[in-house]
């Protein structure tokens, strides 16, 4: 493991352009449940007898906003109750040391921003939980925490419309702006791509990895378990992101 850490650190040190892809496993180290573990929700059906993908979908927000918000509120409470960990801090510090280092995250908790990752090199592909906005009049409402203790769904103070967070729900399209920024950067190429705490095999996760391999780049995974993308990578660092990333950073000098 130590030899692999040094090998990865050396590759990062030499690299100009780096992409770090983060998933739920990174925030799990903050005590946030991973996608399949939110209060056991995702391991079967909800109390209403629905798959969670149906409860947390765009169509459900339209036809039964109270039901959709029941589970959005649980997500919101979990995210607000935790905070960034040493893994988020190590990534932000690496971005400070390496101006060509980008972060692509599937997480909606906002912890990368809280840890200091620069917005101009952060792509939140699934959006974020705040600020809320009104689906009817577009007014913004930054008081997510306050709404979680009121009757759901939250309503717009201006027009009474249903508020929603700027997240990508199931059956909704990914934001064009985020996809555009990602593919613009992928097109420019990356010397090193690091997947942290993600098991997802979505095209926008796999493609930067495949492209880097094709162009002679170095690819790494940080995850306690092997995943669907492990077989395509140069190095698998087994362990918690909050342990592995600070260790990696300790071998990379600042500029």
Q: Which residues are catalytic?
A: 126
Cα separation, 195 vs 223, in Å, equals 8
Question: What 3-state class would DSSP assign to 74?
Answer: helix
Write a three-state SS string for 36-53.
HHHHHHHHCECCCCCEHH
Instruction: Report whether the peptide linkage leading into residue 191 is cis, meaning its omega lies within 30 degrees of zero.
Output: no
DSSP of 126-186, one letter per residue?
TB-S-SEEETTT--EE--HHHHTTSSSS-B-TTT-PBEE-SB--BTSPPPHHHHHHHHHHH
Measured distance CA(151)–CA(14) in Å, rounded: 53
Sign of the alpha-carbon torsion through 115, 98, 201, 248 = negative
Q: Who contacts 117 (Cβ-Cβ below 8 Å, separation ≥6)? A: 88, 91, 92, 95, 103
Determine the length of the chain: 255
For residue 12, count other CB atoms closer than 10 A to its CB: 23
Which SS3 state, helix, strand or coil, does residue 126 take? Answer: coil
Contact in structure between 168 and 183 (CB atoms under 8 Å) = no
């Amino acid at each position: 493991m130590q030899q692999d850490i040094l090998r990865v650190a050396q590759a990062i040190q030499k690299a100009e352009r780096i992409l770090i892809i983060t998933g739920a496993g990174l925030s799990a180290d903050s005590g946030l449940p991973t996608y399949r573990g939110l209060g056991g929700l995702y391991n079967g059906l909800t109390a209403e007898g629905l798959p969670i993908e149906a409860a947390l979908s765009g169509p459900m927000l339209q036809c039964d906003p109270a039901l959709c918000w029941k589970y959005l509120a649980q997500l919101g409470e979990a995210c607000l109750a935790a905070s960034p960990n040493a893994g988020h801090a190590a990534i932000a510090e690496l971005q400070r040391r390496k101006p060509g280092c980008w972060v692509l995250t599937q997480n909606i908790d906002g912890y990368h921003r809280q840890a200091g990752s620069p917005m101009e090199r952060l792509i939140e592909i699934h959006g974020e939980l705040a600020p809320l906005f009104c689906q009817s009049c577009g007014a913004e409402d930054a008081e997510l925490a306050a709404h979680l203790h009121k009757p759901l769904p939250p309503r717009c103070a201006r027009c009474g419309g249903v508020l929603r967070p700027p997240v990508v729900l199931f059956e909704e399209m990914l934001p064009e702006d985020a996809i555009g920024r990602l593919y613009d950067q992928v097109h420019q190429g990356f010397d090193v791509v690091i997947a942290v705490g993600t098991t997802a095999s979505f095209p926008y996760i796999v493609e930067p990895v495949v492209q880097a391999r094709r162009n002679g780049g170095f690819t790494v995974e940080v995850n306690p378990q092997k995943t669907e993308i492990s077989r395509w990578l140069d190095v698998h660092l087994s362990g918690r992101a909050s342990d592995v990333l600070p260790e990696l950073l300790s071998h990379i000098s600042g500029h």
